[in-house]
Amino acid sequence: MATKLILDTDIGTDIDDAICLTYLLANPECDLLGITTVTGEPEKRAMIASSLCIHAGKEVPIYPGLAAPLRIKQKQKIAIQAKSLDKWKHETSFPKDEAINFLRKTIRENPGEIVLLTIGPLTNIGTLFALDPEIPSMLKSLVLMCGYFEFKFKGKYKLEWNAKGDYHSSEIVFKSNPPIVRSIGLDVTSRVQMNSEEFRNKFNAEPFRPLWDYASHWFQTYSHSVTFHDPLAGTTVFNNEICKFKKGNIRIGIKGKRNKGKTRWTENINGCHEIAVSVNRQKFFDEYFSVFK
């Protein structure tokens, strides 16, 4: 039986969200019940997600979510990949202000069955959990690309975008009680990379055509390489051999200039969170490309 999954994403900035969604759409083991978008220009992010769904020949409900963090200023104001939307067929009209209701209704209708995969700042999910505190316990699992869990990076604690982008929401989420909470952090996802030339060579088949256009904005504006943060989180839902996990507890810093959004990890065999501590790069790529055969 296919795994019921909802994706919450800030697709439209880093290319890894689109790479992740392309995998989910092609995976026969994934029953993608819906997509919610988050952060600046959520409607344009929904259009990008729509273009990938249409290219894959899949009909998936898409709901633009919250554009701004709960209490702090938005630092991710635009969806730069929207510049390529004119090249790809996409929906332009979506349900307005319904993302949280969609999440709540769908999870309640499928108790204990849904994997909630979050690959963006946690504004939508923090709001959902605050409005309906019973929802976390009704999930099958919560899987996040979120946090940085090595003790120190070059002598300093390192911040990760999804955790710090709306750290008040992150605190709500990590204080909740889903049956399983798995975080794949930046310290592990950063071990799976490709440069732009290798990316073009590897992703040269028909299912990946939209990615080429969307990736061009990432390469021109941000980086000449791809780090597979979000696809790594997505593949772990379907393949337990890609990453190794340890149990413990995660706390989010919300006070102090240098602590806001910082993920503190304490190992504890009886802890309520799991974090990825290692990744098998080859097994990740084998799993990712296997769904396109």
Q: What is the pLDDT of residues 70-84, one digit of tens each?
A: 999 998 999 999 999
Give the integer Cα–Cα distance in Å for 141 and 5: 10
Give the integer Cα–Cα distance in Å for 286 and 293: 11
pLDDT of 259 reads 82
Kindly indicate the confidence band of residue 156, based on its pLDDT and cuts at 50, 70 and 90: low
pLDDT of 267 reads 93
What is the reported pTM?
0.95
> In one letter, which amino acid is 87?
K
Tokens matching residue 92? 């332009």
pLDDT at 155 over 60: no
Report the share of the chain in percent with pLDDT over 90.
86
For 143: left if phi > 0, alpha if psi spans -120 to 50, otherwise beta; the answer is beta
- The CATH number of the domain holding residue 13 is 3.90.245.10
Query: How many domains are contained in the chain?
Result: 1
Structural domain that includes position 183 = 3-290
Least reliable range by pLDDT among 6-15, 97-106, 149-158: 149-158
Give how far the C-alpha of residue 123 lies from the chain's centroid of Cα atoms, to the nearest Å.
Answer: 12
CA angle 184, 191, 261 (to 5 degrees): 45
Q: Within 10 Å of residue 112's Cβ, how many Cβ atoms?
A: 11
pLDDT at 257 over 90: no
Tokens matching residue 8? 């919450």
Give the integer Cα–Cα distance in Å for 277 and 248: 12
Q: What is the largest CA-CA distance in the chain?
A: 51
